[in-house]
Amino acid sequence: MDLTDLRAAFAGRLLVDADAMSPFLTDWRRKWTGRAVAVAQPDDAAGVAAVLRWCRSQGVAVVPQGGNTGLSGGATPAAQGHSLVLSTTRLQRIRALDPVGQTITVEAGVTLQQVQDAARDAGRLFPLSLAAQGSCTIGGNLATNAGGVQVLRYGNARDLCLGLEVATAEGELWSGLRALRKDNSGYALRELFIGSEGTLGVITAAVLKLFPLPAAQHVALVAVPSPAAALALLALAQQRLGAELTAFELISEACLALVERHVEAARRPLAEASPWYVLVELSSARGEAAATQGFEALLEAALEAGHASDAALSSSLAQFRSLWALREDISESQGAEGPTIKHDIALPITRIPDFIEQTEAAIARHFPGLRLVVFGHLGDGNLHYNLSPPRSGLSAAEFLALEPPVNRLVHDAVDAAGGSISAEHGLGVLRRDEAARYKPAVEQRLMQALKQALDPLNLMNPGKLLGQRDLNHHHASET
């Protein structure tokens, strides 16, 4: 393919060499690998638009990519090799920071960590927080509507975004970089591009919300007898702490045991094991004394009401970090045990106890021996509902062959409970057809109509997000 015009069309790098392209063609977990005509890395938003114009003129499909840390294969090109990877990592400028107005304007390639750091340097908090923050880009966070551990208080990426700049499929630049808390002057274009996984346009910059840094933060590991007790504790915490409750994470005993086995420094601060735990974080504008006092009163009330059987409250930054590490190290510890089957599901919060009980029983019945590794953002109704193979008796291949029927069991249960099969990881290719299976036909037609309207040539990340529906599948909500 003649790339002369493309090379001349924008400032930045154009990679065509196989070695140079290689890091952009495989996702970080090495689950998907594709091929590409080239990898374009423009230096600025105008360059992104120019690349899109070239692609349109040549009929070349575009795969937008940020930090390439996604979990659903949304940023990996297809195997055919006819598409171009458009990497936004060189869009590196922080364009503005307004501490009083509490906004920051950044280009798509700035990493989440860099946004957090810039905010902190100005005495402000950018609360989006997730494991990949050192490498993931804010453009990718917005394109996938990333979540993380502070969603309970501050919302997901969508809720933290005030304005967007987007290069459209036509190769035009839409400047919607409004630093406004309110704007009712037309359709919610910003919202539509957020979470569209690069299938409608490419986000090149964004205005994000900042918050005051909390004056004090504490975290507690609380042993709870059951998910139902965890839910009762959540309600109590919301009532007593209001918006000072900034995280509420559910952890099963199996998770904690895995972390202790694989992370040397990990030490649970509670004497006795409990079937479930929650990690509760409080962030207060009121200072240390008020924070500690509020937290202690909550824990006392929880113990008294029987929602909790024991609790350990952090009293130093080191303890704060080591308690959080017990939660953050679950994924890696599970990985150390062999292959995993994962689900990123959302449920109406009050249905979680029944879901956990019934789904565990169903898995034990249909897939005896599989080990459940269940944790997640209980305050958001978001569970990482994972499985590991039995300690012996099943090869990795045999275990992974169970993935489709296990997915079916779990996702059917999620659908029956009014949940979503993708809470925060997006659809990409991993959950594209699965989502189509469960979504009402009307919703899929509406989504297809929007795709057709904004990307009539189907050049924006084709094959991602929008799945083909199995028309023989009879959807429950349409009976």
Token pair in block for residue 410:
């779990």
Q: How far is the CB of 3 from a copy of itself (least distance, A)?
A: 27
Q: What ranges in 242-395 are assigned the alpha helix state H?
A: 253-262, 288-305, 317-328, 330-335, 352-366
168 touching a copy of itself, by CB under 8 A: yes
Residues 60-79 that bind a copy of itself (CB under 8 A): none
Please state, in angstroms and as integers, the Cα–Cα distance from residue 204 to each residue in 108, 176, 189, 216, 295, following that order.
5, 11, 14, 35, 41
Give which of 85, 77, 86 is closest to 32, Cα–Cα: 77
Q: What ranges in 59-197 are assigned the alpha helix state H?
A: 112-121, 138-143, 151-154, 189-193
Q: Contact region for a copy of itself (CB under 8 A) — 53-61, 82-90, 179-187, 309-317? A: 179-187
347 touching a copy of itself, by CB under 8 A: yes
Instruction: Please state, in angstroms and rounded to a whole number, the distance separating the CA atoms of residues 269 and 371.
Output: 24
The answer to whether 25 and 35 have CB atoms below 8 angstroms apart is: yes
Binds a copy of itself (CB under 8 A): choice among 178, 254, 257, 320: 178
92 touching a copy of itself, by CB under 8 A: no
202 touching a copy of itself, by CB under 8 A: no
437 touching a copy of itself, by CB under 8 A: no
User: What is the rounded end-to-end Cα distance, in angstroms, of the chain?
Assistant: 51
C-alpha R_g of the chain: 23
Q: How far is the CB of 423 from a copy of itself (least distance, A)?
A: 4
95 touching a copy of itself, by CB under 8 A: no
465 touching a copy of itself, by CB under 8 A: yes
214 touching a copy of itself, by CB under 8 A: yes
Give which of 277, 327, 282, 348 is closest to 307, Cα–Cα: 277
Binds a copy of itself (CB under 8 A): choice among 18, 30, 59, 187: 187
Pattern of binders to a copy of itself over 2-41, x per CB under 8 A? ----------------------------------------
240 touching a copy of itself, by CB under 8 A: yes
418 touching a copy of itself, by CB under 8 A: yes
386 touching a copy of itself, by CB under 8 A: no
The answer to whether 249 and 329 have CB atoms below 8 angstroms apart is: no
Please state, in angstroms and as integers, the Cα–Cα distance from residue 89 to each residue in 93, 138, 228, 304, following that order.
10, 10, 44, 52
Q: How far is the CB of 214 from a copy of itself (least distance, A)?
A: 7
46 touching a copy of itself, by CB under 8 A: no
Q: How far is the CB of 376 from a copy of itself (least distance, A)?
A: 10
Give which of 458, 362, 467 is closest to 412, Cα–Cα: 362
Instruction: Please state, in angstroms and rounded to a whole number, the distance separating the CA atoms of residues 294 and 135.
Output: 36
Token pair in block for residue 222:
């609380």
Binds a copy of itself (CB under 8 A): choice among 66, 389, 426, 463: 426
Instruction: Please state, in angstroms and rounded to a whole number, the distance separating the CA atoms of residues 329 and 334.
Output: 9
471 touching a copy of itself, by CB under 8 A: no
The DSSP line for 114-127 is HHHHHHHHTTEE--
CA dihedral of 106, 112, 114, 117, whole degrees rounded to 10: 110
Element (H, E) at 405: helix 403-416
Binds a copy of itself (CB under 8 A): choice among 107, 244, 249, 281: 244
288 touching a copy of itself, by CB under 8 A: no
Give the residue with the Cβ less far from a copy of itself, 147 or 389: 147
Give the residue with the Cβ less far from a copy of itself, 25 or 282: 282
Give the residue with the Cβ less far from a copy of itself, 134 or 242: 242
Element (H, E) at 4: helix 4-9
Q: How far is the CB of 201 from a copy of itself (least distance, A)?
A: 9
- Which residues touch 10 (CB under 8 Å, ≥6 apart)? 40, 42, 43, 46, 47, 48, 50, 51
182 touching a copy of itself, by CB under 8 A: yes
Q: Contact region for a copy of itself (CB under 8 A) — 6-14, 36-44, 144-152, 310-318? A: 144-152
Q: How far is the CB of 447 from a copy of itself (least distance, A)?
A: 5
Binds a copy of itself (CB under 8 A): choice among 1, 361, 396, 446: 446
Handedness of CA 365, 366, 371, 372 (dihedral sign): negative
Give the residue with the Cβ less far from a copy of itself, 110 or 241: 241
Q: Contact region for a copy of itself (CB under 8 A) — 59-67, 149-157, 247-255, 395-403? A: 149-157
306 touching a copy of itself, by CB under 8 A: no
How many residues bind a copy of itself, per CB under 8 A?
A: 96
Binds a copy of itself (CB under 8 A): choice among 1, 11, 235, 273: 235
208 touching a copy of itself, by CB under 8 A: no
* Residue 339 DSSP class: -
294 touching a copy of itself, by CB under 8 A: yes
Give the residue with the Cβ less far from a copy of itself, 285 or 325: 285
Instruction: Please state, in angstroms and rounded to a whole number, the distance separating the CA atoms of residues 61 and 54.
Output: 10
